[in-house]
Structure 1
Amino acid sequence: MAKKIFILDTNVLLHDHKCIYNLEENDIIIPIVVLEELDKFKKGNDLINFQAREFAREMDKIAGEKLFKDGVALGKGLGKLFVATGKPLPEEMKDSFSEHTADHRILAIALHIKSKFPRRQSILITKDINLRLKAKSLGLKSEDYENDKVKDIDILSHGVEIHENFDKSMIEALYTHPGIPEVEFPADEDLPPNQYFVLRNGNQSVLAFHDKVSGLIKRVEKHTAYGIEPRNAEQTFSLDALLNPDIKLVSLTGKAGTGKTLLALAAAMQQFQMYNQILLARPIVPLANRDLGFLPGDVNEKIGPYMQPLFDNLGVIKSRFKPTSKEVNRIDEMVKNEQLVITPLAYIRGRSLSDAYFIIDEAQNLTPHEVKTIITRAGEGTKLIFTGDVQQIDSPYLDMQSNGLAYMTDKMRGQELFAHINLVKGERSYLAELASNLL
């Protein structure tokens, strides 16, 4: 079977700068216009700028005269990499696409490759849905970059299992004993570490989790964290994971109003003595693709609107106490001394974080590679919390299967230092819950 030819769009390289090594034995074409596009993204502190610079460095390592003619071998078991220079728009394109845009120049190169190698399958790889449709209108095969897509779209619901008609004697044992052996727990497959359960039988019920270290199914007790009390089973599980020092990586998903960020911040404040610094960060994804530059003011004034939801959650915690209480004074003092820092995620990249409690909000807007970059910043004693709602992705090139939050949850499931909970019930207000379900 002949090797395929993949033509890559700019957004694929900005999504994963290592993508050229993930396409097996197939040959890869980088249109020259893509390199022009990447040049526009090289400057800046956002993670997308980091991707552009890293790919430029990767190209610099393998660049040579052969790149434009014979291609450069990418390694054992991999195909060759070519850079294709610009081609004139064919007549079939001029009839439908009059504008001389970067996308149309990429389509012209893809059509040229298809006609030059008629016996090989040429595929345009892009994360732009509209470009995929344009390609198909010209008879070009086009696909999304799926190397890091989550295959099981229900992975986020796996953190909590509900068992009805559960053995009553086991429910009673969880209240009277340290736990029940995992070998006695009825399960169709091996239980992953830190799996949470709601076990019911009639009017009897218990919340439990799988402690892999002890080999027991243990009861989960209800905790309060810095004035915040859990209101449902998923919130109880979340605080249990957030307050467990042995769990270094936590993923909290759920729709707006389920309390993800509030619980993470409350747990952080509850354990402030265990960490040198508490960091809250979120990616800045401007609405309507408008850059921060259009906002008035200095840097802090520009990023303020994007960070406000985190300050709002801090305000909710402070409202649980009297304004003159030691808890409120401690929060104010930690903010003043930069022990509690709320900042854009781009300002964190490149740092090595030791003994930190790091909360990454809106993580559904991160790519898998960006999530990996963040996690690899974690030094000794650091705990990472990723929160987000995969139903509210603002990035135009991510979806429920390709975003970094879902990808991390899928890959980390089964690790002893990881826990995931999907919060279902909104607790912000009845109105917010109704709107979330109906609108």
Structure 2
Amino acid sequence: MHKMFVLDTSVLLHEPRSVYAFGDNDVVIPAVVIEEIDGKKSYQDIVGRNAREVARELDKLRELGSLCEGVELPNGGRLRVEVNHKSLNGFQEYFHETNNDNRILAVALNLHREEKEKESKKQVILVSKDAIMRIKADSLNILSQDYLYDKIEHAEEEYQGILNVTVDSEVIDKVYQLGVVRDDELKEVKEYYDVYPNQFVVLKDSYGSSKSAILRYDAVMKKFHPLHRGEESYWGIKGKNAEQRMALELLLDDNIKLVTLTGKAGTGKTLLSLAAGLVKVQDERIYQKLLITKPVVPVGRDIGFLPGDKDEKLRPWVQPIYDNLEFLLDAKHISDIKNTLIGLKNIEIEAMTYIRGRSIPNQFIIIDEAQNLTKHEVKTIVTRVGEGSKIVMMGDTEQIDHPYLDSQCNGLTYIINKFKDINIAGHITLKKVERSVVAQLAAELL
């Protein structure tokens, strides 16, 4: 059945080119959506940028004909800006308030009623990133859905960077005997599994003994390597479990330029990344500077504008980073932590707002809370990485504070899946909480 998709403002502000994502079906933009987008075009953030992009895209389509009457899209669909079907008669008996959301719903409802009377009827579907809008549409018996085009289906098949394989104990003995193993010598893995570059393979004894081995796949040399790092202490930090040792292996390898880490709160993502960054910047002098940043997205109610200069305004947002730095410095038995941080001129904590337009060469870059970034923001950040730099992006996809992002649609999940085939990238999902027993129980039970 031919379909008619009515787009909410949230969809266009999330993805300005979303009008092209619905195949050969009709795409309808209510006139009130254009008004809402116009009201946001002056914002100096990602919302304002997307609003301006939507305006440019629609202006380009306007050259093909009247948007009111409808224009043909390159994929065979048809787009129109709906200025009719906005009557609230019969609608206000369900929802009394007259606001923009209800005006959009009224358009969808009137189109739905009109199509029901036609012989060749079209299925009307409201598309919105706003869950309440979808719930209200459902109560009006209108089909509704989230914007699904950019979602990554990974609930059960999420790339975790670790492959568990059961083999005979003789295979594990051979691995310890040879050390580095060619992929044709480990047919038990390569013949039955898809192994990605820098993915870790955990070999376990099929007979249930405690024998095991951890290898990392080198797709360029087509070899499996044992872990080289993780047992030693780095600024007082050791890998407390196998996953943390794997993470350190990626973080401390200069050939891997992009590392992504996911995991629950307390799994050690930030601490491990900072320790690796300090090793590479302070001890080994591989990089000139350690640059740390994170998106400014509040948890709960925003506290509003903060007094002071840029550093003073930023301090509350990056306090968790300072907490981890102080822990690392304390582990090195440095008592005057405050003056030491001031003295470390090659550590920079920057606001993400100012990263656009920069080129960042020869730096160890850490992006914390990356799950609160959109696809466009992730692209903006990663394209800033200059020659000789390494970037680490981490976060917990179960703790997203951005109103229009979720675990399947966020910048961190997006980049993990896009870069899993790339030789200079690596990913690990950390599962074991090491912060405390209370944190472990909270992560599991709450």
Equivalent residue for 1:213, pick from 207, 220, 223: 220
Identity of aligned residues (%): 41
Determine the structure 2 residue equivalent to 1:21.
20
Note the alpha carbon deviations across 1:219-263, whole angstroms, 9 max, x for none.
113334333211110000001111112222211111000000111
**8 Å Cα contact 1:173/1:179 also seen in 2:** no
Equivalent residue for 1:81, pick from 61, 70, 79: 79
Equivalent residue for 2:201, pick from 194, 197, 200: 197
Superposition TM-score, scaled by structure 1 size:
0.90
Output the amino acid matched with 2:256: I
Note the alpha carbon deviations across 1:7-63, whole angstroms, 9 max, x for none.
111111222122122222222222222222223433444333322232233233333
Distance 2:213 2:340 in 1: 35
Question: Is structure 2 residue 52 aligned with structure 1 residue 41?
Answer: no
- Matches of residues 253-332 of structure 1 in structure 2 within 5 Å? 253-272=262-281, 273-288=285-300, 290=302, 292-293=304-305, 295-297=306-308, 299-323=310-334, 332=342
Distance 2:424 2:272 in 1: 19
Larger deviation, residues 303-312 vs 344-353: 344-353
Distance 1:71 1:274 in 2: 57
Note the alpha carbon deviations across 1:320-354, whole angstroms, 9 max, x for none.
113279x99875434xx4x3222332222332333
Determine the structure 2 residue equivalent to 1:231.
240
- Matches of residues 65-80 of structure 1 in structure 2 within 5 Å? 66-75=65-74, 77-80=75-78
Note the alpha carbon deviations across 1:117-149, whole angstroms, 9 max, x for none.
441222111011110011111121111101111
1:196–1:348 distance in 2 versus 1, CA, 3 Å: same
1:211–1:19 distance in 2 versus 1, CA, 3 Å: same
Question: Number of aligned pairs?
Answer: 431
Structure 1 portions without partners, runs of 5+: none
Question: Is structure 2 residue 332 aligned with structure 1 residue 333?
Answer: no
**8 Å Cα contact 2:159/2:417 also seen in 1:** no
1:382–1:254 distance in 2 versus 1, CA, 3 Å: same
Determine the structure 1 residue equivalent to 2:184.
183
Distance 1:399 1:233 in 2: 28
1:423–1:396 distance in 2 versus 1, CA, 3 Å: same
Distance 1:122 1:312 in 2: 52
Determine the structure 1 residue equivalent to 2:57.
58
Partner SS state of residue 290, structure 2: strand
Distance 1:183 1:382 in 2: 33
Superposition TM-score, scaled by structure 2 size:
0.88
How far has the Cα of 1:155 moved from its partner? 3.8
- Matches of residues 47-196 of structure 1 in structure 2 within 5 Å? 47-63=46-62, 66-75=65-74, 77-85=75-83, 87-118=85-116, 119-156=121-158, 158-164=160-166, 166-185=167-186, 186-187=188-189, 188-196=192-200
RMSD: 2.6
Partner SS state of residue 91, structure 2: helix
Distance 1:65 1:117 in 2: 26
Distance 1:287 1:245 in 2: 35
Structure 2 portions without partners, runs of 5+: none
Larger deviation, residues 116-125 vs 427-436: 116-125
1:309–1:221 distance in 2 versus 1, CA, 3 Å: same
Deviant stretches of 4+, over 6 Å:
327-330
Distance 2:83 2:301 in 1: 29
Partner SS state of residue 151, structure 1: coil
Distance 1:292 1:86 in 2: 40
1:296–1:329 distance in 2 versus 1, CA, 3 Å: closer
